[in-house]
Structures are given as structure tokens and as C-alpha cells.
Copies of this chain bind each other. A is one copy, B any other.
Amino acid sequence: MDNHWFVGVDIGGTTIKMAFIDTYGEIITKWEIATNTHNEGRQITTDISKSIFMKLDELNEPKEKLAGIGVGAPGFINMENGFIYKAVNIGWKDFPLKDRLEVDTGLPVVVDNDANLAALGEMWRGAGDGAKNLLAVTLGTGVGGGLIANGNIVHGVNGMAGEIGHLTSVAKGGAPCNCGKTGCLETIASATGIARIAKEKASESNDSELAIILSRDGKLTAKDVFDAASKEDALALEVVDEISFHLGLAIANLANAVNPEKIVIGGGVSKAGDLLIDHINKHFQTYALPRVAQGAKIAVATLGNDAGVIGAVWLIKQKVNN
């Protein structure tokens, strides 16, 4: 199998990321196509299939070069048959993604949740550095996650595992969350949550850079907070410490239960880098058991937008080689 390539596909609401990747996880070439959400997304598998074979032609390689396709998709996925129960951004409902793509391409296909595949990608080729027990936390507009135990994704009984954003951080009186509950980690540690907390604090302050930005722009972003914190703005540091307390506590609680070797923090908010990691780590050390804390390293994700396609290829590679 060693000179075969695999296809990694990461389907998002506006673009589909694609790559040919070799058996060692090296990207040969990567490209994107637009996500066609018309007609309930029925055209998408044909678009992917056509794009794969056009790219193969471009590179003068035969179909036999490809050994299989790994696909990351948003929404709820039935792992047994590769059906997408529901992906609101795309319009799929009970969509047979795996079957359609296998028929269109004649190649074996595996499908998994995009957040899980990003965790696998980081495990294989990124900050996870081969760790077979890994917790991935993605801090973006929302807070997502993936859990790998014994080298395998933990899906749980109905594919909901890894919903780290919906751990409850504030049991009583927390902010409302998109999921319908209140006080979820996502209401605090997402870019949106950070902006909300910063705004609350800045409204009651006069001398912070955040208060100046808020009165100038009428709004605050997570980036404003980290920029100000890196300049030692006291209020911004207070916001960073508050969200890091909740992240460190939630991650320590999970770590006491699953004892990961690596905890990989990704997503847009993770661009804050050491400033964020150091604050999270301080609280993590307080709440993790000493031996759990010794065994675990918190690191920023390194693969960026490539994590999904690389993780997808890891998964199809396991399947084809077994």
C-alpha cells in the first residue's frame, strides 16, 4: 500500500476542503471547492467525486493511485452506515453520504464527525504527537471537542461524545446557551462567550483599554481581549483568567476521568497561544490529580485547517489496511 494516496475531505457550510495525502500523513496537494447547498445538498457528493478525478488527471495519476476516502462532516452522523441524520448548515437530513460517495467514486469511504477527525489529525501529525489518549478542545464561535482513548475516537452510544462545550461551568444562574441549557462552557470560553464577558466587565470600568475599545466600536472581540491582555491591561487579564479558570477546571475534571497524555487546544481563540495556555495550565494543575497532571501536556493545535483532512485520512487508512 505504501505508494498509494488517500483522499481527505472536510465538508463545511461554505467550502469543502480536499487533499491527497500519502500513507505517512504528508499532504501531496490540497484544494477547496464551494459547498453547493442548493437542492438540500444533493449535488455535493457528485461535486466531490468530479473534483477528485479532475485533480488526479491534472497530476497524471491513474484512479488506482487512490486507496480510499475519509470524510469529515458536520452534524449528527450514524457511524454504522455513514448516514448524516441532520446537518443544518448544509441541508442534509438522513443523507446517505458514505453510500453516495462510494457509488460516485468506486472507492471505499469512511465518514465521521469533523471535530472528531480534527482530534485524530492532531493525534497523528500535529500537537498530539502520536498520543493514543488525547483530548481535543476547539475554541471557536462555539466550543467543540473530540476524545481519543486507546487510539480510537470515542463516539458514545449515539455519536454525541466529545460535546465538551456543553459541560456545565456555572450550575446556577449561568448565561443561556444555544443548546437550550444555561452556564455551558461554550457560553464562557467560545469567542462569543469571551466577548460577552469582556463587554460585561468593560461596561463597569473606565480605565481599561477594553472600555475604550467598547465605547469607540460599540463592541469587543475575543481578539481585543487577548491583544489587551498581552499589553498587561488589568481588566483584560481578569477576563483571560476567568475563562481560563473555567477551561482549566473542566479539562481537569475530564482528565481525572480519562487520563489523557495530550490536551490539544485548537480553534480561532487558540491563536492567543502561550498567554492562554499558561493561564489554563495554572488552573488545570490546581484541579487535576497530581499523577494525572504529570501525565498530561496541554498544547496548542498545530495543523490549523489541515487537521480535518489529515484525520479523515488516518481513519480511512485504518479501515483499508484492516
- Specify which of A154, A156, A167, A250 lies most central, judged by the most chain B CB atoms within 10 Å of its CB: A156
A145 close to B289 (CB less than 8 A): no
Partner of A289, one of B131, B181, B257, B259: B181
Contacts of A253 in B (CB 8 A): 167-168, 250, 253-254
A182 to chain B, nearest CB (A): 10
Check if A179 is an interface residue, CB within 8 A of chain B: yes
Interface centre among A132, A149, A158, A180 (most CB of B within 10 A): A149
- Residue-wise, chain A 209-223 has the 8 Å CB interface mask toward B (1 for contact) of 000000000000000
Q: Chain B's nearest CB lies how many Å from the CB of A135?
A: 8
Contact across chains for B252 and A147 when beta carbons are under 8 A apart:
no
State the number of copies, please.
2
Q: Which residues from B are CB-within-8-Å of A296?
A: 157
**What B residues does A252 contact at CB under 8 A?**
168
A254 to B254, CA, bound (A): 7
**CB neighbours of A286 from chain B (8 A):** 181
Within A276-314, the residues touching B (CB, 8 Å) are 286-287, 289-292, 294-296
The answer to whether B167 touches A256 (Cβ under 8 A) is yes
Distance in Å: Cβ of A253 to nearest Cβ of chain B:
4
Known: A181-B289, A289-B166. A258 touches B295 (CB 8 A): no
For window 37-70 of chain A, which residues contact chain B by CB distance below 8 Å?
none
- Complex: A32 Cα to B141 Cα, angstroms: 57
- Residues of B within 8 Å of A152, CB to CB, are 149-150
Say yes or no for A193: interface residue by CB 8 A criterion.
no
Check A167 against B259 for contact (C-beta < 8 Å): no
Q: Which residues of B contact A256 (CB under 8 A)?
A: 160, 163-164, 166-167
Which of B161, B164, B260 is A156 in contact with, Cβ under 8 Å? Answer: B260
A259/B295 in contact, CB under 8 A:
no
Which residues does chain B contribute within 8 Å of A131, judged by CB atoms?
A: 157
Task: Identify which of A160, A166, A295 gathers the most chain B CB atoms within 10 Å of its CB.
Answer: A160
Distance (Å) between the CB of A38 and the closest chain B CB?
Answer: 28
- Minimum Cβ distance to chain B for residue A171 (Å): 6
Taken together as a complex, chains A and B put the C-alpha atoms of A190 and B313 apart, in Å, by: 45
Docked pose: A145 CA to B155 CA in angstroms: 20
A22 at the A/B interface (Cβ < 8 Å)?
Answer: no
Taken together as a complex, chains A and B put the C-alpha atoms of A150 and B143 apart, in Å, by: 24
Nearest chain B residue, comparing its CB with the CB of A294: B158
Establish whether residues B166 and A259, one from each chain, have CB atoms under 8 Å apart when the complex forms: no
Distance of A250 Cα from B287 Cα, bound (Å) = 14
Q: Does A108 contact B (CB under 8 A)?
A: no
* Nearest 10 pairs of A and B residues by beta carbon: A156-B259, A157-B261, A161-B259, A160-B259, A167-B253, A158-B295, A149-B154, A157-B295, A163-B256, A168-B287
What 6 new A-B contacts, CB under 8 Å, besides A133-B161, A160-B295, A257-B257? Answer: A149-B156, A150-B152, A158-B259, A167-B253, A167-B257, A254-B257
- 13 A-B contact pairs sorted by A residue (CB < 8 Å): A133-B154, A145-B257, A147-B258, A149-B152, A156-B258, A161-B257, A166-B289, A168-B253, A171-B245, A171-B249, A181-B286, A253-B253, A258-B258
